[in-house]
A and B are shown apart, each in its own frame.
Chain A
Amino acid sequence: MNPMVTVNIDGQDIQVEPGTNVLEAAERLGVMVPRYCYHPGLSVAGSCRMCAVEIEGMPKLQISCHTRVRDGMKVSTGSEQVLRMRQAMLEFLLVNHPLDCPVCDQSGECDLQNFYMEHGLHESRVFEDKIKRKKAFPIGPHVMLDQERCILCTRCVRFCEEISESHELGVLDRGDRSVIDLFPGRELDNNYSGNVIDICPVGALTEREFRFQCRVWYLSQEASICNGCSRGCNIAVHFNTERSYKADGRRVQRLKPRFNPLVNQWWMCDQGRFGYGFVDRDRIENPCLRIGGELQPRAWEEVLEEVATALKTTVEKFGAEGLGVIASPQQSNEELYLVRKLFRELLGVAEIPFRNPWEGTGTEDGILLLGDRNPNSRGAVDLGLQGDAERILEDAAAGGVKVLFVFGHDFDSDPARELIRQAGYVVFQGANWNSTARLAHAVLPGVTHMEKEGTFTNFEGRVQHFAQALLPLGESRPDLEILCDLAQRLGHALFYAEPEDLYSEWRGRSYQDLGEFGEVRDSNGAGAS
């Protein structure tokens, strides 16, 4: 390994790997050098000129994004000359900027606002007319472009060149007539288009779904994991729960990728990004029982009691063979562990499948999105869950399985629906209404993964923690509560206060041990990374 080099930045020494740029080295010391064009996930453009710093022995200021550290280098990020340069660049950036912050969706999370407030010149001397450009027009299904707000940092262009490799965007024209625009005949319609919104430092690229729904300062956020496929992209859930009059009461306003160098870097796919609708839509808000052929809301007590009785009598009369349980790869490790504990270890059900045999494999896009569109299939495998869901449904239809307990699945195919219709007694536990839930005899409203804490194990075996962002909707309850309650009604003393209690029991470790980026453990239980 190369020896580390020592640089001195604003009087503090730091050791970094050779090849590190000065901007990143400063960041490690907690020194934020303002920048627009630089993004750690993209090639260096070096064109915004915002990150210039003073380096001892160099006649001119150097842009810190394109200057590599040298041993003994002395850097000043706050000298008078540096501050003057920043002020000058900010002034230039505003020469043709419309300053329409009051109606700009980016307000509050805009680097032009932020850096201007910190480093800007506060008296304008721009008295000439500004250049007019196209404002607020859609360039794809998710993205709006405002060319007047654009500062030509070209992050979006480089993203489409280097990450999505879809080449929709370019810089057209020259000088101060330059604009970011679509190439003729193109549309920004790739599965990663939402990322350009994230990396746009200003209000030039905004999200069509999010526009004017909620001011960003009303948003709270919580760290989560995308449940859209088995990659396990790290995300932040941005939600608004205090101003329910906004966005028709939707709580989740948007998802943003969260940096994880080992999983998704800075990115996420559009399918995951815009796939959060299930959190506030088609939710099962009350426990239900089928009465007179109709599902009707009933109190938890009543529904749980009926389900417990059905389970108890079935096991008593027919043994565990009378129970069919199908877990879900959308459940957390903790929940799957609890399912296994209750149904296999305590009730004796031999086989608990988790895959939906009618669910095909999706197409992989070669970037992040994987074919398995479930977040925790690997976790279910690691927990030893296996079996044939189709055979269980057939047994249920044929009468061998008396009580069928389905977690979350939507067996949305004609043969599957027919089998479920013929089943004697179907319990559905899940967060959203679907074709299987509608055919059930008892429906137990669970919560989405944004309303609970837990872990998913991604395709490569990386266990990642997600935090609870929202409170359960309506009367819904986390599986942990429902299953413990059921177990107690069945006479088993299952008490778990928190998901972490289950996690510790299963893995002998705490959530803290997962670290910032999750943990891959080999079959011997030793940490791999």
Chain B
Amino acid sequence: MERLRLISRDFGNSRARKLDYYRAHGGYQAALKALDEMAPRRITEEVIKSNLRGLGGAGFPVGRKWSFVPSNTGKPIYLVVNADEGEPGTFKDRYIMEWDPHRLLEGMIICARAVGIHTAYIYIRGEYVHPERILREAIEEAYREGILGSRVLGRDFSLDVHMHVGAGAYICGEETGLLESLEGKKGWPRLKPPFPAVVGAFGCPTVINNVESLTYLPHIVANGGEWFANLGSERNGGLRLFSLSGDVKRPGVYELPMGTPLRELIYGCGGGMADGKQLKAVIPGGSSAAVLTADEIDVPLDFDHLARIGSMLGSAGIVVMAEDVCMVEAMRVISHFYAHESCGQCTPCREGTGWVARTVDAIHSGRARRRSVEDLMQIADNMSGTSICALCDGAAMPLRSFLVKFRGEFDYHLKHGRCDLKRPVPAVARSGVFQAPTGSGGIPGAGQE
């Protein structure tokens, strides 16, 4: 049976980018429905019913986020589209913008209609030169055809869309760092409260949604919130895109229902492990997520199930690591990323990320003190939950999981300054911090589609 695909249907079809094609295949019908047939409040209600979660990574229910926006402030309300896709291992929004830009624009119109928005900003990461060009063309097309502008689709509703290109900072994907950057300031996340829904861009109430979250809206409006909710798992509505990379035969972006087991993604969509290697570990939600061992891949991929085993679904950037991946080396790469990308505002993140990176370096090369691994655990604890935004937690969470689940590799590196990759892959999750799911089966060959 062919998999259901909602927003990835046209990935790879370069004609689908064009407005003609999009319209010929039902495009902008949902936006018309939202404009003509639905009161704004009803749209929000449908979105709440759909259990659509924030797919940038935080997983906050989209409809509820909209409902926090006050409508009586006398100020304009802004929509800011977070297209600053920067979480390592994540490349799904790029696919949407490259292959299906009009569906994003249609989603934006629906959101604008629901919340009463007439100005939208798309904040796109600077490295996305190609998606940016395609998206700009789509916006121009939409303006030309009267889909955007003073009369959206000919109706008495205006929406202007502006593009803003980021300058390459990971932190500008954090929604308030993004707002600061959009306003022309240094991308330092803001203290909350107030939340952007109340005080967002330029001091005005603001909805910030991820590209993918918005792109699902046309389907929700067309088919109803309940329909979308039923496609997914409990409290995790619909489908979502998974960016699959690493040691699998067929890496790529796959659209699957929420709650699909990780095993199915790796061995079904991904075609199993590349080069006949054994699976060692999986990062399930971008590099900020706690790593999973091969024993944990029966976990259903939704926000709540991954949280339950001490990790997170995050941006659904799934990195598969085979037996020959050195976990110390992997942690080194990850820790240097966070040290490089910490904005430097909060003490624990600014100092902790660099300290961790240098300590992991020292372990990697065998220069570290004997106690360094314990020290790293404590540093990770001291970084957790102590700063303004989640970057610091995003640095601490993988660190702690790598140390707990692959302690042996760190100890070996610390002692010898190199890996011992000949040894079998034990990767036993320690109880307490991380609970391994029960009933995990064997790995090889299982779950092939």
A interface residues (Cβ-Cβ under 8 A, vs B): 44-50, 52, 60-61, 66, 85, 88-89, 91-93, 95-96, 125-129, 131, 151-152, 170-171, 173-178
- Cα distance A505–B388 when bound, in Å? 59
A92 close to B340 (CB less than 8 A):
no
- Chain B residue numbers with a CB within 8 Å of A126 are 355
25 contacts between A and B (CB under 8 A): A47-B347, A47-B388, A48-B346, A50-B347, A61-B385, A89-B347, A89-B348, A91-B382, A92-B347, A92-B348, A92-B352, A95-B354, A125-B371, A151-B347, A152-B347, A174-B169, A174-B342, A175-B339, A175-B342, A175-B344, A175-B353, A175-B354, A176-B339, A176-B354, A178-B344
Is B345 positioned at the interface, with any CB of A under 8 Å from its CB? yes
Please give, as numbers and ranges, the residues of chain A lying within 8 Å of B355 by CB-CB distance.
Answer: 92, 95, 126, 128, 176
Tally the A-B contacts, defined by beta carbons under 8 Å. Answer: 95
Are B344 and A171 in contact, CB atoms less than 8 angstroms apart? yes
For B386, list chain A residues within 8 Å (CB): 49, 52, 61, 85, 88-89
Q: Give the residue of A49, A95, A128, A152 whose beta carbon is less than 8 angstroms from that of B344.
A: A152
CB distance from B345 to the nearest CB of A (A): 5
Q: Which chain A residue shows the least CB distance to B190?
A: A46
B359 at interface (Cβ–Cβ under 8 A)?
yes
* Complex contacts, B351 vs chain A, CB 8 Å: 92-93, 95-96, 176
Known: A60-B385, A174-B341. 13 other contacts (CB 8 A): A45-B345, A47-B347, A61-B385, A85-B382, A88-B386, A89-B348, A92-B350, A92-B351, A95-B351, A128-B362, A131-B354, A175-B340, A176-B350
Residues of B within 8 A of A45 (CB): 191, 345
Which residues in B have their C-beta under 8 angstroms from that of A61?
A: 385-386
B186–A49 CB distance below 8 A:
no
Give the residue name and chain of the A residue nearest to B381 (CB): A88
> A173 contacts which chain B residues (CB < 8 A)?
344
**B382 near A176 (CB under 8 angstroms)?**
no
When C-beta atoms are compared, the residue in chain B nearest to A43 turns out to be B191
B371 A175 Cβ-Cβ under 8 A: no
Which residues of A have CB within 8 Å of B339? 175-176
Spell out B's residues near A (CB within 8 Å). 169, 171, 186, 191, 339-348, 350-355, 358-359, 361-362, 368-369, 371, 375, 382, 385-388
Q: In the bound complex, what is the Cα–Cα distance between A131 and B350 (angstroms)? A: 12
How far apart sit A180 and B16, CA to CA, in the bound complex (Å)? 49
A49-B358 contact given A44-B191, A125-B375, CB 8 Å threshold: no
Closest to A89 in B: B347
B405 to chain A, nearest CB (A): 23
What CA separation (Å) do A170 and B361 show in the bound complex?
31
**Contact A46-B344, Cβ < 8 Å, known A92-B351, A128-B358, A175-B350:** no
Kindly list chain B residues whose C-beta atoms are within 8 Å of the C-beta of A96: 351, 354
Contact B354 A49, beta carbon cutoff 8 Å: no
Could you say which of A85, A92, A170 has the most chain B C-beta atoms within 10 Å of its C-beta?
Answer: A92
Give Cα distance in the complex from A178 to B446, angstroms.
49
Contact A49 B350 (CB under 8 A): no
Q: What residues of chain A lie closer than 8 Å to B369, measured between beta carbons?
A: 127
Name the residue of chain B whose CB is nearest to the CB of A48.
Answer: B347
If over half of A's interface residues share one DSSP class (helix, strand or loop), that class is named, otherwise mixed; here it is: loop
CB-CB nearest in chain A for B352: A92
Q: Which of A49, A85, A178 has the most CB of B within 10 A?
A: A49
Bound Cα distance from A343 to B3, whole angstroms: 106
**Bound CA span A294–B342, Å:** 72
Complex contacts, A177 vs chain B, CB 8 Å: 344
Closest 8 pairs (CB-CB, A-B)? A178-B344, A88-B382, A176-B354, A128-B358, A92-B351, A175-B342, A95-B351, A46-B191
CB distance from A421 to the nearest CB of B (A): 62
Q: What is the bound-complex CA distance between A66 and B193, given in angstroms? A: 9
Whether B347 pairs with A175 at a CB distance below 8 angstroms is: no
Which residue in chain A gives the minimum CB-CB distance to B361?
Answer: A128
Q: A174-B169, A177-B344 are in contact. Are A152 and B191 (CB under 8 A)?
A: no
Residues of A near B388 (CB, < 8 A) are: 46-47
Q: How far is the CA of A91 from the CA of B339 in the complex (A)?
A: 17
Shortest CB-to-CB span from B362 to chain A, Å, is: 6
CA distance A49 to B389 in the complex (A): 12
Minimal Cβ-Cβ distance residue in B for A37: B347
- Measured CB to CB, the closest approach of chain B to A171, in angstroms, equals 7
Q: In the bound complex, how far is the Cα of B388 from the Cα of A49, in angstroms?
A: 9
Shortest distance from the beta carbon of B377 to any chain A beta carbon, whole Å: 12
Given A44-B191, A46-B388, A175-B340, verify A152-B350 contact (CB < 8 Å). Answer: yes
B371→A47 contact, CB < 8 A: no
Q: Shortest Cβ distance from B381 into chain A, in angstroms?
A: 8
The reply to whether A174 and B354 contact each other, CB–CB distance below 8 Å, is no
- Knowing A44-B191, A46-B388, A49-B387 are in contact, say whether A171-B354 is a contact too (CB < 8 A): no
Chain A residues within 8 Å of B340, by CB:
174-175
A46-B191, A152-B344, A171-B344 known; A178 and B350 CB under 8 Å?
yes
Taking CB atoms, residues of chain A closer than 8 Å to B387 are 49
User: Which residues of chain A are within 8 angstroms of B361 by Cβ–Cβ distance?
Assistant: 128
CB-CB < 8 A to A85: which residues of B? 382, 386
Q: How far is the CA of A61 from the CA of B348 in the complex (A)?
A: 14
Considering the complex, give the chain B residue whose CB is closest to the CB of A126: B355
Chain B residues with CB below 8 A from A89, complex form: 347-348, 386
Chain B residues lying within 8 Å of A152, measured Cβ to Cβ, are: 344-345, 347, 350
B88 to chain A, nearest CB (A): 16
Return the contact of A93 from the options B342, B347, B371, B385 (Cβ within 8 A): B347
Is B353 within 8 A of A176, CB to CB?
Answer: yes
Q: In the assembly, what is the distance between CA of A93 and CA of B344, in Å? A: 12
